[in-house]
A and B are shown apart, each in its own frame.
Chain A
Amino acid sequence: MVPVDTDVIGRRYPAGEQHEVTAEAVRAFAEATGATWSEGDPVPATYPIVAAFRAMTAFLDAEGVDLSRIVHGEQRFAYERPLAVGDRLDVELVVASLRAIGGNEIVGTASEVRDADGALVCTGKATLVHRGDA
């Protein structure tokens, strides 16, 4: 396992592209959880992970971390407003902390999800566990 460099703390990783919330994407997401979804229904609360995951990927790619060695340790969202179909989302992730525990690295991250007007839609706090060699 190549350790993540401690220099990353405080570094910001924007998701490469804007994520547009489409009815098709929301329906596919809801149905993958076994739910049914029709236009007009609330967007599932965990949907912002679709956008946030892109910023996580930007971070992992930039630091050369293999995704298969990452396990999601914790995720918390705080919402300013519900997501809506038609939203175009930008996400930026910042690495908040990095610590080594039992051969694994625990990466603490914070993300901001903003709409096309730049208004905050939700914030996410995630812990990513970078697993050491099995």
Chain B
Amino acid sequence: MSALEPGAVLPTLTYDVTREQLVAYAAAAGDPNPIHQDEEVALAVGLPGVIAHGMLTLALAARAVAEWTGGAEVVELGAKFTSPVVVPAEGAAQVVVAGTVKAVADGTATLALEVTCDGQKVLGAPKAVVRA
């Protein structure tokens, strides 16, 4: 567990996302949207291919927060899904979660996150607040 001191840079974590995982996430989250599983449907609605659920990407950010903080209680978590994570039929997309401690006050720590795939930010204004 990293010390949650203001300005602390947290270790960057990288997570693979595969098509198989999208199917498992869709079942676990109860989200049957075919844009996360079916290339034809995804292309038909104008997407660049099968994309990860935004909430799966946010779940990976939450996973990083849990790893950094030793499973600290999360008070706030959120992001905009600004750019899709396109998941190839073979292999995996890699979601990279970087973070810094922005502020520590009133028993909570605010973490600023940067979540990228292929060098492009995929979450907008991602933010997590945990009990510290």
Interface residues of A (CB under 8 A from B): 25, 28-29, 31-35, 41-42, 44-46, 49-50, 53-54, 67-79, 82, 125, 127, 131, 134
Interface residues of B (CB under 8 A from A): 15-16, 21, 24-25, 27-35, 41, 44-47, 53-56, 58-60, 62-63, 65-66, 71, 73-81, 84, 124, 127-128
Residue of B nearest to A49 (CB): B55
Q: How far is the CA of A54 from the CA of B89 in the complex (A)?
A: 28
Min distance, Cβ B86 to any Cβ of chain A, angstroms: 13
Q: Are B33 and A68 in contact (CB under 8 A)?
A: yes
Q: Are A74 and B45 in contact (CB under 8 A)?
A: no
Q: Are B73 and A42 in contact (CB under 8 A)?
A: yes
Min distance, Cβ B87 to any Cβ of chain A, angstroms: 13
Q: Are B77 and A46 in contact (CB under 8 A)?
A: yes
4 other contacts beyond A33-B21, A76-B78, A134-B44, with CB at 8 A cut-off? A33-B25, A42-B66, A42-B73, A71-B47
Min distance, Cβ B19 to any Cβ of chain A, angstroms: 12
Q: Are A72 and B21 in contact (CB under 8 A)?
A: no
Q: Are A77 and B77 in contact (CB under 8 A)?
A: yes
Q: Are A76 and B77 in contact (CB under 8 A)?
A: yes
Q: How far is the CA of A2 from the CA of B34 in the complex (A)?
A: 19
Q: Are A46 and B58 in contact (CB under 8 A)?
A: yes
- Which residues in B have their C-beta under 8 angstroms from that of A46? 55, 58-59, 62, 77
Min distance, Cβ A105 to any Cβ of chain B, angstroms: 14
Min distance, Cβ A126 to any Cβ of chain B, angstroms: 9
Residue of B nearest to A57 (CB): B30
Q: Are A50 and B30 in contact (CB under 8 A)?
A: yes
Min distance, Cβ B54 to any Cβ of chain A, angstroms: 4
The 5 A-B residue pairs with the shortest CB-CB distance in the complex, in nearest-first order: A76-B78, A134-B46, A32-B25, A45-B74, A32-B24
Q: A53-B30, A71-B35, A72-B53 are in contact. Are A33 and B73 (CB under 8 A)?
A: no
